[in-house]
Every structure is written in structure tokens, then in C-alpha cells.
Chain A
Amino acid sequence: MTHVTQISAQVSDSAKQLLDEFSALSGMKKNRIVEDALWFYLRARQELPESAVVPARMVLTASAAGVVEGRLAQAPQATPALVRLMHTLEPHDEA
């Protein structure tokens, strides 16, 4: 049997919530999810230099959260520059 050991770490409420939800949905034990996640993350970091990694999670300051909150609450509006930009796509460029 593989020897196991215990670690502990403080994480954000949202990370804990994601872990709880994923465990409930998948039926996987939390220790297994954490171990799998660590293996994936650390292997990726070994194979890529830091400059090649795109961090997936961006943590907003309170003021930045206010910016996002305000923009999402507004009726959607496009600036003239954005309208012009979106019309630069060639017909075969459609994503």
C-alpha cells in the first residue's frame, strides 16, 4: 500500500465551495480530488516555464469587483471602436 501523509492548507471560501460541490457531484473523496489536482498542476508547472502559463483564476480587489459589478449591471453597449473592430472579420474568420 502506498504510504500516505497528511497536509493542511488555508484556502479561500470559494475554493472550498468548489471542492465541496465537485466532491458532491462526482462522488469522489476530497483527498483524491486534491491529490489529482496537485499532480496535474505540478506536472504542468514542471513542463512549462512560468511565463508560458496563463493563470485561470483572477482575484479581484474590492474596487475591481465594483467595476465588474457595475459593468454587468449596465445595459450592454458597444463603443463605435468595438463595432468597427468586429466588422474587420473576414467571412471565413467566423469562430
Chain B
Amino acid sequence: MAEPAIRRLLAGDDASRFRCGDPEYDIFLQRYAGQNQDRLFVGTTYAALDGQRVVGHVTVAVGQLDRDDLPEGAHSRLPRYPLPVLRLARLAVDEAFQGRGLGRRLAAYAFAVALHVRVTAGCVGIVVDALPARVGFYADLGFEELELTGGQSPIRPQPVAMFLPIGAVEAAVS
């Protein structure tokens, strides 16, 4: 069987049969992913397709890391302006396609998008909203947990924000 192809979600793609095991993720893909992307321009979804049927997806958005206000006299090597990142907000695979490495390909695809954003617009790294069960997976890739005081993912259970410098992805592909 041919591996599903990955590309940007299009209006004609069939997500109606998508079932990943978490209804909230299914509803997001079926109702809001296209709207986020094509009408509000606040995120982009890349779909894995078996024919016209969506069998996996990863949703990314540009974001920025900002420091909580530092105490008077404190110093930091980080610049005072926000740092641009690509946020990997959602990744899900249809139950019929789970266990075949498709989730890994979708993650790799999102990381390749981050490399592209670095060149075209600037990007110091990737922030992933990792589900608690996937924290170990992302830690193996080199991601490190971040404690946030604002901008946490609204998904429940609360994902863990994790950071990887873009240089690590460059090193992995060079």
C-alpha cells in the first residue's frame, strides 16, 4: 500500500471519516482547521492523504516567546524583543493508520516547515504542545520543557510546552 502523501490541507479534502480516538481532535480537523487556515490565517494544517481522505494532520502556527518581566537589575542574554518560533499545536493520526510511523512523518514534516520559516521569515526554534503521554518522545528528540505564565495551549488535558532550537533540526538534516 502506498504511503499517504503529506501536503497543505485543501478545501476539497475529505476529513469526515477522520477518527483518531479523541473526539476533540476530530472536531477540530473537521470544523475549524480549514477556517483557521483559509479565513482567519492563524494557523496552517498539513494533511496526510490516502486518496482524498485525510488520515492524519499536523497544525502549526507562528508564535513568539516573550519573557515574563524580569526583576529590576536582573540580566539576561535573551533580547528584549520577542523570539519568533513555529508552534506545533496539534498532531493526530486516524486509528486505522496508527502504528505505521505516520505521526513521526507528520512531526518531521512540521520540523521541515520550521526550517523553511527560518529562511523566509525568521524562526529560532520549535515549540511543541506535547500531550503528557508524548513528552518522552519529544525529549528523545532534544526538546526541553518550558514553564509558561501565558499562552498555554487550551487543549485538555493540558499539554506540556517543549522547546527545540532550530539549529538542532538543521544539524539533523545536514
Interface residues of A (CB under 8 A from B): 12-14, 17-18, 44, 47-65, 67-69, 71-79, 81-83, 85-86, 88-90, 92-95
Q: Flag whether B72 is at the interface (Cβ < 8 A).
A: no
The reply to whether A89 and B109 contact each other, CB–CB distance below 8 Å, is: yes
Known pairs A57-B150, A71-B163 / 11 extra A-B pairs, C-beta < 8 Å: A48-B32, A50-B154, A54-B36, A56-B63, A64-B147, A64-B148, A79-B142, A85-B107, A88-B104, A88-B108, A95-B116
Q: How many residues of B contact A (CB 8 A)?
A: 76
Interface SS of B by simple majority: mixed
A-B contact pairs, 13 of them (CB 8 A): A12-B69, A47-B40, A58-B146, A60-B149, A62-B67, A65-B78, A67-B146, A77-B171, A82-B142, A82-B168, A85-B107, A88-B104, A95-B109
Complex Cα distance A18/B64, Å?
A: 12
- How far apart are the CA atoms of A85 and B149 in the complex, in Å? 31
Q: Are B155 and A51 neighbours in the complex by a CB distance under 8 Å? A: yes
**Cβ–Cβ < 8 Å partners of B170 in chain A:** 76
B80: A residues at CB distance < 8 A: 13-14, 17
